[in-house]
């Protein structure tokens, strides 16, 4: 696999000649919507496969290996008929193996809403270990909202993907509620009712496990939340169900703030099968323009997490979206969400040159709209995905979690499947 960054004046044809890969393969692999108009700074994932090279006068095994950026040993292994590497024959046809990076095996979770496009789901499921269906909202009396999740559960299991029931403290028609969570966490009878309802639904609908995503909890509810998790684990584990929790991206155990204080990393790490670190939203709807998941910030979270949670239990969050801000940024103004492919399409439409921030490992660009207002867009591409996966490998984590899989990013899965083997638990 190669990641090619488009330069001004390049075409799919010229890039295909550079890598000896058919143009149509580059177009289809990357699902290019307008292959005739590439954007400077855009990435293309090149899946080379095994190619053939005809030896020319003056060629050596060293020069050929250098040209294709593969090792001499790899060429010799792909061509067992070479008896004397120091003496190649002009006209001899050699097999050139692809350059491979394999980090081993990985667990991949993908969050999905029940109304996800079924074609997007079909294309994504082969690259997933878990499908977390978002979400059952808890009620103050321990009851749960209803969602149309059965088609997704059936599709997941048919693809050997384990479906997870997700429960959240989202108020009906609203957002995450500290008060709602506090009502649950301070009433043991309501907790028992809630767990009864969770178990009933998991059995009835053939779920594999439970993902608890309680956010913005009051700091004083920290121990109550820990006790609730102990109760959930004691109830569902003997029934054969797996337990996962979603955690805010903390850089220390005593980090202040409503999002962080009640999330006790050591306790979650001890009680659950996996934790999902929500390592995104540094750049968010109401923030100044910046990368959604700057890799330098993600690294800080992992540096702390691995000291208190077993590495193999950690699934590192990766955002599958970007934001478009209007400049100059003003406090209280909202950015609009944009898909990764949509960002490239927008750059093409406005004639922007895509830049890349090496520290954050994220692409971005600026442009003026038709009213004269300037915009700044941050998103993710193949380079971002590879950098994230390399970080997972460096920290020896269990895997990744995508928020969400609803907008299909072809390059994400090209890179993911090129460098990792997806572990199926079913």
Same domain, 119 and 90: no
Same domain, 89 and 232: no
Query: Where is pLDDT greater, at 67 or 383?
Result: 383
For residue 126 the two structure tokens come to 């082969």
Q: What is the pLDDT of residues 253-274, one digit of tens each?
A: 999 999 999 999 999 999 999 9
What 3-state DSSP class applies to 279? coil
Return the pLDDT at 98: 86
Question: Which of 343, 350, 297 has the alpha carbon at shortest distance from 320?
Answer: 343
Return the pLDDT at 294: 98
Same domain, 71 and 187: no
Same domain, 255 and 362: yes
162 burial type by CB count under 10 A (0-12 exposed, 13-18 middle, 19+ buried): buried
Q: What is the pLDDT of residues 157-197, one digit of tens each?
A: 999 999 999 999 999 999 999 999 999 999 999 999 999 99
Mean pLDDT of the chain: 97
CATH label of the domain that carries residue 263: 3.20.20.80
Last residue of a domain, one of 33, 66, 96: 96
Is the bond preceding residue 135 a cis peptide, omega within 30 degrees?
Answer: yes
Same domain, 72 and 116: no
Question: Which of 135, 420, 144, 99 has the alpha carbon at shortest distance from 276?
Answer: 135
Domain extent for 373? 105-422
Return the pLDDT at 67: 87
Percentage of the chain modeled with pLDDT above 90: 93
* Alpha helices per DSSP H over 92-140: 118-124
Which stretches does DSSP call E strand in 38-161? 43-46, 51-54, 93-96, 105-112, 130-137
Return the pLDDT at 49: 82
Q: What is the rounded average pLDDT of the residues 49-57?
A: 89
Return the pLDDT at 333: 95
Q: What is the pLDDT of residues 113-147, one digit of tens each?
A: 999 999 999 999 999 999 999 999 999 999 999 99
The H or E element containing residue 228 is: helix 222-236
Contact 52, 93 (CB under 8 A): yes
Question: Which of 132, 133, 232, 221 has the alpha carbon at shortest distance from 180?
Answer: 221
Domain count along the chain: 2
Place of tokens 């400049």: 327
Sign of the CA dihedral running 44, 50, 54, 57: positive
Q: What is the rounded average pLDDT of the residues 64-86?
A: 90
Q: At what angle do helices 382-395 and 410-419 cross, to 10 degrees?
A: 30
pLDDT at 216 over 90: yes
Return the pLDDT at 362: 98
Place of tokens 């996962």: 244
pLDDT at 43 over 90: yes
Q: What does pTM read for this prediction?
A: 0.94
What 3-state DSSP class applies to 333? coil
Return the pLDDT at 148: 98
* Alpha helices per DSSP H over 54-110: 61-68, 72-78
Same domain, 201 and 275: yes
Q: What is the rounded average pLDDT of the residues 303-325?
A: 98
Return the pLDDT at 203: 98
Same domain, 366 and 332: yes
pLDDT at 51 over 90: no
Cα-flanking dihedrals φ and ψ of residue 113, to 5°? -85, 155
Query: Where is pLDDT greater, at 96 or 208?
Result: 208
Question: Which of 54, 39, 44 has the alpha carbon at shortest distance from 19?
Answer: 44
Same domain, 90 and 142: no
- Annotated catalytic residue: which of 215, 223, 297, 394? 215
Examine the residue annotation and report whether 215 is marked as an active-site residue of this protein.
yes
Q: What is the rounded average pLDDT of the residues 389-409?
A: 98
CATH label of the domain that carries residue 58: 3.10.350.10
Return the pLDDT at 137: 98
Q: What is the pLDDT of residues 332-354, one digit of tens each?
A: 999 999 999 999 999 999 999 99
Last residue of a domain, one of 49, 77, 96: 96
pLDDT at 87 over 90: no
Distance, first Cα to last Cα, the chain: 28
pLDDT band at 69 (very low <50, low <70, confident <90, very high): confident
Last residue of a domain, one of 46, 78, 96: 96
Contact 392, 311 (CB under 8 A): no
Same domain, 167 and 216: yes
Return the pLDDT at 263: 98
Same domain, 85 and 189: no
For residue 3 the two structure tokens come to 């990641």
The H or E element containing residue 196 is: helix 188-205
pLDDT at 50 over 90: no
Same domain, 24 and 167: no
Question: Residues for the chain: how many in total?
Answer: 426
Same domain, 47 and 110: no
Compute the chain's Rg from CA coordinates: 24
Return the pLDDT at 276: 98
């Amino acid at each position: 696999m190669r990641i090619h960054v488009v330069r001004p004046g390049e075409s799919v044809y010229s890039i295909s000649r550079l890598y000896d890969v058919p143009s149509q393969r580059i177009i289809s692999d990357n699902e290019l919507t307008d292959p005739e108009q590439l954007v400077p700074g855009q990435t293309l994932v090149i899946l080379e496969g095994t190619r053939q090279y005809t030896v020319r006068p003056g060629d050596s095994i060293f020069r050929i290996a250098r040209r294709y950026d593969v090792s001499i040993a790899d060429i010799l292994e792909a061509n067992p008929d070479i008896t004397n590497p120091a003496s190649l024959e002009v006209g001899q046809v050699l097999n050139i193996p692809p350059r491979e990076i394999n980090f081993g095996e990985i667990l991949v979770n993908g969050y999905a809403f029940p109304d996800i496009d079924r074609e997007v789901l079909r294309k994504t499921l082969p690259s997933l270990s878990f499908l977390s269906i978002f979400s059952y909202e808890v009620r103050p009396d321990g009851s749960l909202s209803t969602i149309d999740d059965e088609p997704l559960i059936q599709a997941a299991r048919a693809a050997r993907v384990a479906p997870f029931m997700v429960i959240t403290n989202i108020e009906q028609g609203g957002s995450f509620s500290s008060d709602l969570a506090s009502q649950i966490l301070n009433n043991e009878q309501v907790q028992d009712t809630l767990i009864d309802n969770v178990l009933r639904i998991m059995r009835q609908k053939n779920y594999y496990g439970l993902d608890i995503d309680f956010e913005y909890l009051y700091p004083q509810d920290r121990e109550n939340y820990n006790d609730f998790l102990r109760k959930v684990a004691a109830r569902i584990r003997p029934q054969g169900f797996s337990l996962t929790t979603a955690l805010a991206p903390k850089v220390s155990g005593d980090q202040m703030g409503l999002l962080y204080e009640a999330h006790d990393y050591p306790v979650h790490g001890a009680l659950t099968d996996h934790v999902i670190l929500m390592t995104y939203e540094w750049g968010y709807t109401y923030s100044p323009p910046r990368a959604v998941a700057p890799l330098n910030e993600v690294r800080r979270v992992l540096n702390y997490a691995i000291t208190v949670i077993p590495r193999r239990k950690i699934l590192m969050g990766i955002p599958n979206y970007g934001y478009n801000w209007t400049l100059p940024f003003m406090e209280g103004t909202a950015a609009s969400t944009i898909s990764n492919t949509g960002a490239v399409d927008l750059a093409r439409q406005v004639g922007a040159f895509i830049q890349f921030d090496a520290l954050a490992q994220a692409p971005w660009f600026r442009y003026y709209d038709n009213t004269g207002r300037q915009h700044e867009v941050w998103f993710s591409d193949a380079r971002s995905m590879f950098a994230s996966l390399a970080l997972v490998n460096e920290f020896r984590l269990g895997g990744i979690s995508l928020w969400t899989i609803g907008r299909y990013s072809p390059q994400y899965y090209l890179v993911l499947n090129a460098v990792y083997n997806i572990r199926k638990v079913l």
